[in-house]
Amino acid sequence: MPLKTLLVFASIGLIVLACSDRKEYNATGRVHVVRDGDRFTLIRDQKPFVIKGVAGFTHLKELHDAGGNTIRTWDTTNLQNILDSAERYHIAVMAGLPLYNSNHVSEYYNDPLAMKNLQQKMEAVVDRYKNHPALLMWCLGNELHYFYEPEEDFFTAYNTLLKMIHRKDPDHPVTTALLNFGRKNIYHVQSKVPDLDLISINTYGRISSLKEDIEGFSWYWDGPFVVGEWGINGYWECDSTAWGAPIEDTSTKKAEQYKSVYATQMPYDNPRYLGSMVFYWGFQHEKTPTWFSMFSDDGAKSASIGSLTEIWNGPSSVHPGPPLEYMLVDQKGARDNLLYQPNTVHKAEIILKQPAGGLRLRWEVLPEDWYKEQRDDSNKNKITPPALDSLFSDVDGLSATFRAPETEGPYRVYCWIYDAYGNFASANTPFYVVK
């Protein structure tokens, strides 16, 4: 037989072996995954548990009231208080164990002393929290880009940590969170880290193809998964102005998108699906203070919370919040590329879907956040730039008159609308000051 033919048969044999070498799911820990044919089920305290979760660790009473049952953290900061609060509201916790990214391989994962210190610190964390009743599972690393460029020293270190966690805490599964679905990522995880109990996938705009991606690669990877983060399109996935400012939808539009994305794109009917966690449950500045935040900085709730309540619990009587339609500035929208001279006067106004009384409006002009994400984004700007409130000269009902700043550059005019039920709606429009 020709050598080429032998190599083809050998490759096929390896593929068949990879597909047939199925991980055994017969653990009996407090939390574990069981397999019945092609179906996987997460078991917690001897009962099936489907994750109805959020990425975030605040507003846990509101999460419980909405029908959610799980949160995820990205590190162990304040973990004791988070676990205690979660237990109080019957919320489970996926606890994050952070790891350095691939640009630290040469000076970190190759350093025996650094790895020894890391293992000791992580072992202490696992020992401290492994018996907490709110703990659901561990997430060892978040969006590990080095799975694109496999480094043996990293995988050696990763497997050492993974084995330690399993040895110290056999009662809780271990996952890792991957950035989007990628066959190369999945291949490296399966071949280099076979003892992971499940995979978490963080995805936003690319969730539109997640069902097909998972099904199309099931010949190689047929294990359980969680959608570790999902939500509306990120600021890196949307339309932008001529100067590169991403155009943000209103909070009302986002609430509609959450329901639509879940209903049409979430692979919840896949027998390997264990649940999902939506981003972001809380307030966090990321490009803007409103892009992902489901709560305002003063604790008011957005309409997206009502959408999640419907997703988890069915039709809800929760008050929908202010009926915001859109914002106009000088009768124009964000896609009109608003360019202004310094100190010129302009009028912003809010259009409602229907008349509403008892509303309170808060207007602000903020400098645009021009932070550029790097491969290691540990220093990502999470602080909202200071507002330039002195620019407003007249606020009347649903409109406000403001003066363009003197300094050249990009800005946004924001409006937060509050009702009497603890809800808010928000909209913003970017503009550029040109001298």
pLDDT at position 94 over 60: yes
For residues 11-20, average pLDDT: 38
For residues 413-430, average pLDDT: 97
Mean pLDDT of the chain, nearest integer: 90
Q: Is 377 left (phi over 0), alpha (psi -120 to 50) or beta?
A: alpha
Q: Which pairs from 355-362 meet CB under 8 Å and 24+ separation?
A: 356/322, 356/323, 356/419, 358/419, 358/420, 359/322, 359/417, 359/418, 359/419, 360/417, 360/418, 360/419, 361/395, 361/398, 361/400, 361/415, 361/416, 361/417, 361/418, 362/415, 362/416, 362/417, 362/418
What percent of the chain is predicted at pLDDT more than 90?
76
CA torsion, ordered 79, 375, 282, 67, to nearest 10 deg: -80
pLDDT at position 9 over 90: no
pLDDT for the residue 319 = 84
CA 233 to chain centre: 11
- pLDDT tens, residue by residue, 226-261: 999 999 999 999 999 999 999 999 999 999 999 999
- pLDDT tens, residue by residue, 114-170: 899 999 999 999 999 999 999 999 999 999 875 666 678 888 899 999 999 999 999
| Tokens (6 digits) for 260 | 């639509």
pLDDT for the residue 19 = 42
pLDDT for the residue 385 = 86
| Tokens (6 digits) for 85 | 């609060």
What percent of the chain is predicted at pLDDT more than 70?
89
pLDDT for the residue 17 = 37
User: What 3-state class would DSSP assign to 28?
Assistant: coil
H-assigned helices in 169-302: 183-192, 210-216, 251-265
| Tokens (6 digits) for 366 | 């903020």
Contacts of 231 (CB under 8 A, 6+ apart): 204, 258, 261, 278, 279, 280, 292
- pLDDT tens, residue by residue, 276-327: 999 999 999 999 999 999 999 999 999 999 999 999 998 877 788 999 999 9
Confidence of residue 85 (pLDDT cuts 50, 70, 90): very high
For residues 318-337, average pLDDT: 94
pLDDT for the residue 211 = 97
Lowest mean pLDDT among 6-15, 251-260, 314-323, 397-406: 6-15
pLDDT for the residue 56 = 97
pLDDT for the residue 320 = 84
- The amino acid at residue 14 is L
290 neighbors 428 (Cβ within 8 angstroms): yes
Domains of the chain (ranges, CATH numbers): 20-313 (3.20.20.80), 324-433 (2.60.40)
pLDDT for the residue 188 = 87
